[in-house]
Amino acid sequence: MSKVNLETVKAFLLQLQDTICAGLEQADGKAKFVEDAWERAEGGGGRTRVIRDGDVIEQGGVNFSHVFGASMPASATAHRPELAGRSFHACGVSLVIHPKNPHIPTSHANVRFFIAEKEGEAPIWWFGGGFDLTPFYPVLEDVKHWHQVAKDLCDPFGDTVYNDYKKWCDEYFYLKHRGETRGVGGLFFDDLNEWGFEKSFDFMQAVGNGFLDAYLPIIEKRKDTPTNDAQRQFQLYRRGRYVEFNLVWDRGTLFGLQTGGRTESILMSMPPLARWEYDFTPEAGSLEANLYESYLKPRDWLSL
């Protein structure tokens, strides 16, 4: 097994943040990311980058963080009780993009690395991450493209990797209280170390680098689609689901808050505007109804 190298992972993540920000700025054509560097009193810090009021992107953020401390938070030890009593380093890049046009999906991606150490014992480490897509007015062509990119980057790592991590994504980004998926999924993986450090790191890099390949073509195809206020209101209503998931179910949000992370950076994923409506039901046969009937459930997208 190759030696675990935190600094190599950190260098890749910093470069990945730069690459993704440059790609999104080019796709928007107007707005630029503004960086807010921060430090964590208990150890570590990060670079929060936010883009606002662009021609394409209403608001989004691409964050890098590296935090460390003497003990793991409850959100981590509940999931992995063997981590209790260990010091830790956690580093990653996390992003959420909320476009203006309702015909461009919201997107999320995250890649991360954890290592927990205790004197006299071998370190416990793993990679995690993935990306997922949340459309409001989905186009099957876009969904298939998103999943084809995901499958193509998974295939070199094993015949079952795409199916396994697609299924995990469908199950993780599921709003139990609503009985629906957050969107059309993608990839989700966690606790990845069984391949050894080098192969696991290679996979994490493939996922991180695959995000722009998956997302930018969809932006380009949908950014000039005509829209209206009714579609805007539906977009804002569905953004409410995004808020619900992040505040109720997302382990990353809980981890960040419980480790004393920077609240502004953790909640960067929230949309700039959202709305709730009591007992909303889309009109039968409408584009809005199509989202609920055909897309907010796990499907084998590549076979359609």
Is residue 1 a contact partner of residue 96, using CB atoms and an 8 Å limit?
no
Closest CA to 210 of 103, 298, 132, 125: 132
Please report which residue ranges of the chain form alpha helices under DSSP H.
6-28, 74-79, 140-154, 161-172, 197-222, 229-248, 251-258, 263-266, 287-290
Q: Tell me, what's the pLDDT at 191?
A: 92
Mean pLDDT for the stretch of residues 70-77: 74
Number of domains present in the structure of the chain:
1
* 145 has binding-site annotation: no
Q: Is 111 labelled a binding residue? A: yes
Q: Which of 89, 103, 108, 145 is catalytic?
A: 108
Structural contact between residues 50 and 33, judged by C-beta atoms closer than 8 angstroms: yes
Q: How confident is the model at residue 16 (pLDDT cuts 50, 70, 90)?
A: very high
CA distance 294 to 42: 46
Known binder of ligand: residue 261?
Answer: yes
What is the per-residue pLDDT for 34? 97
Active site residue 108: yes
CATH at residue 138 = 3.40.1500.10
260: annotated binding-site residue? yes
Q: What is the pLDDT of residues 103-130, one digit of tens each?
A: 999 999 999 999 999 888 889 999 999 9
Evaluate whether 83 touches 205 at the Cβ level (below 8 Å).
Answer: no
Dump pLDDT digits (tens) for 146-174.
999 999 999 999 999 999 999 999 999 99
* Contact criterion met (CB below 8 Å) for 99 and 242: no
Q: 110 among the known binding-site residues? A: yes
Predicted structure pTM score: 0.94
For residue 183, give its domain range. 6-303
Q: Is 1 inside a domain boundary?
A: no
Q: Contact 89/6 with Cβ under 8 angstroms? A: yes
